[in-house]
Chain A
């Protein structure tokens, strides 16, 4: 009798432990997937800042505009929104390069005031893009009902849309890292970011490097928009929230630090996932900003690039 009771208690303990283990794993999975979304939103902004020192306040507007175009395309044609990805990458890159040449490059010649002027230019551009999106797409929140279910692995659920977005972000981050560190043009880009004068003296066409960096950054932001509209409702006015989110993440990860930003995005996702489960939605919402304050107080050196 006593032995049977002990066996039953042992089984219950094991089941409880297994349940706790599954919960911990699911929270981890949810956090990593959320982090993947953050990488997607933040990395392109990080590229533009890292190489050019330009704080692109129009970042969220580009994501929202691309997302709204994807919605329109998908609803109009009935085709997969993912088909817009190559178009967004190419179109975004072309538009970004054109915008850089017409709007950003002239203010980059302003010497010490270049940072402030580019901030003002991209701030104005963000409003122009939001207004354009409002006029063309309206102000409704919209989202594409695509990849809404999840893949199951045992007791764990992997949201399909987040997996696709995270995988895309991972591939793009890896390609970006490889390009910047292993190819001549990428190294030229890094050199131009570290010392434009030094790069110039080595024969690097710094203006061209900036054009490429801005083009790629905007292309990636547009691609992020294609995936974001599948994950959550987006409206033109979402733009400022997306910009803020991206800034918090790159500030946490280290401005211009690609691996740092990816790591910060993933850790933030996991921390929010755990906080949301145990402490509720308000704690999850406020966590990035609390962490930002902590990081700023603990390691202001990370923000040296802002100066």
Chain B
């Protein structure tokens, strides 16, 4: 969080600067080619804001980087976005506005599968080739939604390395939890199936609606005494579960929570309780992918923070869109879509290839672990920065 006086100052200054800026702004050059406008909405506020903000920053970094190299088709790129407040209904209204009133040239999807599912009918009605950096549920990418184009690993691969790893180290029982949300349920069902396949006994499983009290769930987990606790969740409930487990005096040997641990706020909120918790990521700092170092440098310079994989997915969406626009020399939606589903783009996340339904194939989420307050990539083995540490101690 930036300093309070600085934010207050900016808030006050903003009130004066905006009207004055209008007075002194230079008129647009008459002969300049009109910019290519990319429209999107993002969860700037609401329950999904923590991850959504990373994603929009990644998109901004991608646009800035593209403009640094002259834009696309000799035209500057402008990003137009609105806050959908993490609300599917609001997002539908805003995408309608982006397409019909703002008449943007290209679209990038919102953050989260939940919001994407809501806007999918609209995207397909207007036949806009829409890159989806934040929608990882595979069931979105079906023939009826052919204009939604995924550019990230799907949510059934979230924490897919944890249960095999735990079993390898002697774990026999597991507790599995999933938030009632599109992505987390896809992850939850995939991990339940995986646990059964591995022969791990599921001693506790539940899905839950976003809530603040986890004491009962934590107590039930304690009594089931599993070796592994794996939660498919968002940041706030990830924090609440860890605290509740600690309060009830239970520490499983392995504790994994999908997207929460990769956020800087997670370690800040939990302190030592975060140590040795596993999380997943679709991108990492040490990936030897084309443009990765440029992305990290640009993002850090622009936002004075380190990126996470949501930011990388946002940046990738711009990379894929840019590749398609420049290869087809066109803003024609059908040409762009066709190019994307028939080509592989070497992105900062790795190769992105969509099948005919727009689902990214071959990409998987990797696994990180918090070790003494620092996130370390621990799987896959060939990219691991550090060996896995266990058991989870809760301090």
Contact = CB atoms under 8 A, between A and B. Distances in A.
Contacts, number: 149
A174 interface: no
B213 interface: yes
Interface stretch (B132-140, B148-156, B202-210, B321-329): B202-210
A140 B53 contact: yes
A280 B213 contact: no
Interface residues of A, number: 49
A136 B5 CA distance: 9
Interface string A258-290: 000000000000001111110011101110000
A142 B49 contact: no
B219 A281 contact: no
A137 interface: yes
Interface string A126-156: 0000001011111111111100111010000
B216 A157 contact: no
B2 A138 contact: yes
Interface string B218-262: 011001000000000001100110011011110000000000000
B197 interface: no
B281 to A, nearest CB: 19
A75 interface: yes
Interface residues of B, number: 50
Interface in A224-256: 231-233, 235-237
B216 A72 contact: no
Chain B binding surface SS class: helix
A30 interface: yes
B31 interface: no
A72 to B, nearest CB: 5
B391 to A, nearest CB: 18
Given A139-B45, A280-B207, A148 B11 contact: no
Contacts of B215: 30, 33-34, 159, 273, 276
User: Considering residues B4, B206, B213, B214, which has the most beta carbons from chain A within 10 angstroms of its beta carbon?
Assistant: B213
B220 A277 contact: yes
B122 to A, nearest CB: 24
Interface stretch (B71-79, B269-277, B284-292, B346-354): B269-277
A135 B247 contact: no
Contact of A233 (B208, B213, B240): B240
A135 B12 CA distance: 10
B212 interface: yes
B265 A142 contact: yes
B85 interface: yes
A72 B211 contact: no
A293 interface: no
Nearest to B178: A281
B236 A281 contact: no
A275 B11 contact: no
Nearest to B47: A237
Given A34-B213, A140-B1, A281-B206, A232 B240 contact: yes
A276 B7 contact: no
Contacts of A233: 235-236, 239-240, 265, 269
Contacts of B247: 148-150, 157, 159-160, 162
B208 A143 contact: no
A89 interface: no
Interface of A: 23, 26-27, 30, 33-34, 71-72, 75-76, 132, 134-145, 148-150, 152, 157, 159-160, 162, 231-233, 235-237, 272-277, 280-282, 284-286
Interface of B: 1-4, 7-8, 10-11, 44-47, 49-50, 53, 85-86, 177, 180, 206-217, 219-220, 223, 235-236, 239-240, 243-244, 246-249, 265, 268-271, 273
5 A-B pairs closest in CB distance: A281-B208, A276-B216, A145-B271, A159-B247, A285-B209
26 contacts: A26-B248, A72-B1, A76-B4, A135-B11, A136-B11, A139-B44, A139-B45, A139-B53, A140-B49, A141-B265, A142-B269, A159-B247, A233-B235, A235-B45, A235-B49, A235-B50, A237-B46, A237-B86, A273-B216, A276-B213, A276-B215, A277-B217, A281-B216, A282-B206, A285-B210, A286-B209
